[in-house]
Amino acid sequence: MEADYVVIGGGSGGSALAYRLCEAGRKVIIVEFGGTDVGPFIQMPGALSYPMNMPRYDWGLMSEPEPGLGGRRLVTPRGKVIGGSSSINGMVYVRGHACDFDHWAEQGATGWGYADVLPYYQRMETWHGGADGGDPAWRGTSGPMHITRGPRSNPLFRAFVEAGHQAGYPLTADYNGRQQEGFGAMEATIWKGRRWSAANAYLRPALKGGNLSIVRGLARRVVIENGRATGVEIERGGQTEVIRARHEVVVSASSLNTPKILMLSGIGPAAELRAHGIEVIADRPGVGANLQDHLEIYFQFAARHKNTLYKYWNLFGKAMVGAQWLFTKTGIGASNQFESCGFIRSAAGVKYPDIQYHFLPIAVRYDGQAVAEGHGFQVHVGPMRSKSRGTVTLRSADPRESPVIRFNYMSHPDDWEEFRRCIRLTREIFAQPAMAEHVKREIQPGADVQTDAQIDAFIREHAESAFHPCGTARMGRADDPTAVVDPEGRVIGVDALRVADSSIFPRVTNGNLNGPSLMTGEKIADHILGRRLPSSNAEPWINPDWQSSQR
C-alpha cells in the first residue's frame, strides 16, 4: 500500500485537498475510519438532526465537565463517515468575514489574508444565489461545491429579516460576498434537494478519476523516520499495517482528532508525551492548545399563528415529508430550514459582526428532541469571537481512546457581557412589528429572565456548542514556539508532514466552519503543488460608522 500522498481523514479539508492533488495527476490514499454516506438520513437535508446523533456516523466525543457551564458535559459531534462532518452538519455555508483572515495573517499566517483566500473560495464554489441579489463577481461559477439558498416560502423567514431591518440593521444581499453585516438569506451546501457534502462534491469525482483510493481503517499514528513522515500506521481487521507515502503525509482528522494523532506520533508538548510513554519527536506545546468554538443559545418563542413546521412534527407528517423527498427531492425535506440569518455587531467600537443568527421556523433542540409546546420558532444566537481557550489532550497512548476535550467555555469574563448583549439585542429584534405579530410569548429564556444574574444562570444551564471547534494545531510563523504548522501547512520540526483542516485556524472565523475548512484543503493542496492563485484586490464592506455606532 503506497501512494504519493497519504491523507488521514476523508472530511472537508482532506477531501478538497485530495481532489486537487488527484486533478494534478498525483496518486492519493485517504485513510477513513467511517463508512458509507449512502442513505436518506445523511442525504436528505431536512433529516439533519439524525446523523449527528447516530453512533454509526458520529465519533461520539464529549467534553469534560465544563466549570463555566455548571459542570455540564457537552456533546461535540464529529463525522465518522465518508465526507466527515460535512456529512452530518447543518449544511450552513459561511465563508467567514474578511477581517477574520486578515487577523490570521497578522498572527503569523502570512499569505492567508482575505485577499489570498478569496480566490480559493471562488475556485471551489458554484453559486446559485444570484436571483435575489448579490454581486456574482465575488462568487465562483464552476467549482465542485454547489451553494444554494432555500426558497424562503414560509413567511416567518422574511419576517425575521424585516424585523432586523426595522431594528435599524442593514440588509445584505449576500453575506458571503462584499458585505457580511446585516440580515438576509442564508446559504447552504445543498444541491438538487440533496446534502452537497465533501463526499458528493470532491470524493466521488476524484474516485472516478482513478488517482484516489480510500482505505478504511483507524489511523494509529504517523510513521516518522529520521525526522521525516514516511507513512501512516493503521489498524484494520484486527491487523496493524503501514501505508507508505512517497512524498508527504497530510493529517485532516478534525480539530479534535488531529491533535490526538499528532501527539500519538510524538509531536506535541514534551512533558505530556513522556507522561504517556510516547517518544518525543518534536516538542510543540501548541498541539492541542488554543481550542476554540462557538457557543449559542436557542431563543424560542411560541407562535401566534399555525405557520410553523410543527404541523409536520408527527409520524404522518414526517412520513409525508420523507416520501416527497424520496421520490422528488423536493419539499420540506429538501431544505435544512435555516433559510434566513443575520450578522450584527454587539457594540459601537466593534469593527465587524460578532453575533450570528440562524432562524428556524420551529422550536426544537438541535438533536431533534423535545419540541417546545406546539407551534413555535427559534433563533440560534451567540458571540462569534469568545476569548476563552481550551485544550485537547491524550487520555492514554491507546489510539482507540477518545481524546480529553476541555473547551473552558465562558472562562473569560468578557464572554458573559457579550452573551448578555446577544440576549438583549435579540429581544429587541423580536419586538419589532414584523416579528411581534407572530410572537405569542417567549418560551426561553422567558420574559422573567431579565437581570444579569438571571441571564447568566440561563446561559450556564442552556448554552450549547454550535459544533465549530478549531485552532488546536495553530498556523503561525515557523519561529513561533506556540505555532504547530507554518503558513504552508507544514508541521514545524518534521519534514513531509502537513495539516489541512480547521485545527490550523489561528482564530475561529465568523459563522459556520465547513466553508473555511473546505477552503483550507483547497489552499494547502496548492501549497503542496507549489502554485498559488493570484491575490484578489476586491474591497470588502466595513460599516463606516463602526467606531461610533452599534448599527
DSSP secondary structure of 414-439? HHHHHHHHHHHHHHHHHTSHHHHTTE
Q: Grid coordinates standing for 83?
A: 465526507
The residue to which cell 465549530 is assigned: 468
DSSP 8-state code for residue 453 = H
Q: Grid coordinates standing for 362?
A: 420551529
Q: Any known ligand binding at 154? A: no
The residue to which cell 431591518 is assigned: 165
Q: Is 468 a catalytic residue?
A: yes
DSSP 8-state code for residue 285 = T
Q: Any known ligand binding at 44? A: no
Q: What angle do CA 262, 267, 271 make, to 5 degrees?
A: 120
Check if the beta carbon of residue 258 is closer than 8 Å to that of residue 499.
yes
Selected catalytic residue, list 97, 103, 438, 468: 468
CA atoms within 13 A on the CB side of 501: 30
Q: Any known ligand binding at 223? A: no
Provide the H-helix boundaries in 194-243: 198, 204-209
Q: In whole angstroms, what is the distance from residue 146 CA to residue 141 CA?
A: 9
Check if the beta carbon of residue 101 is closer than 8 Å to that of residue 117.
yes
Q: Grid coordinates standing for 307?
A: 405557520
Q: Any known ligand binding at 263? A: no
The alpha carbon torsion through 189, 42, 152, 518 (nearest 10 deg) reads -10
For the chain, the farthest-separated pair of C-alpha atoms sits apart, in whole angstroms, at 69
DSSP secondary structure of 55-103? TTTB---BBPPBGGGTTB--B---B-BTTGGGGTS--B-----HHHHHH
Q: In whole angstroms, what is the distance from residue 238 CA to residue 103 CA?
A: 45
Q: In whole angstroms, what is the distance from residue 551 CA to residue 546 CA?
A: 8
Q: Determine if residue 187 is left, alpha or beta; phi over 0 gives left, psi from -120 to 50 gives alpha, anything else beta.
A: beta
Q: Any known ligand binding at 81? A: yes
> Between helices 413-430 and 452-462, what is the axis angle to 10°?
100
Tell me the C-alpha to C-alpha distance, in Å, between residue 140 and each of 105, 120, 125, 176: 23, 9, 5, 11
219 beta partners: 234
Q: How many helices (H) and strands (E) does the chain have?
A: 14, 23
DSSP secondary structure of 482-526? T-SB-TTSBBTTSBTEEE-SGGG-SSPPSS-SHHHHHHHHHHHHH
Q: In whole angstroms, what is the distance from residue 350 CA to residue 343 CA?
A: 13
**73: how many CB neighbours lie within 10 A of its CB?**
12
Check if the beta carbon of residue 337 is closer than 8 Å to that of residue 309.
yes
The residue to which cell 487577523 is assigned: 103
* Residues annotated catalytic, as ranges: 468
Task: Please give the annotated binding residues for FAD, written as ranges.
Answer: 81, 89-92
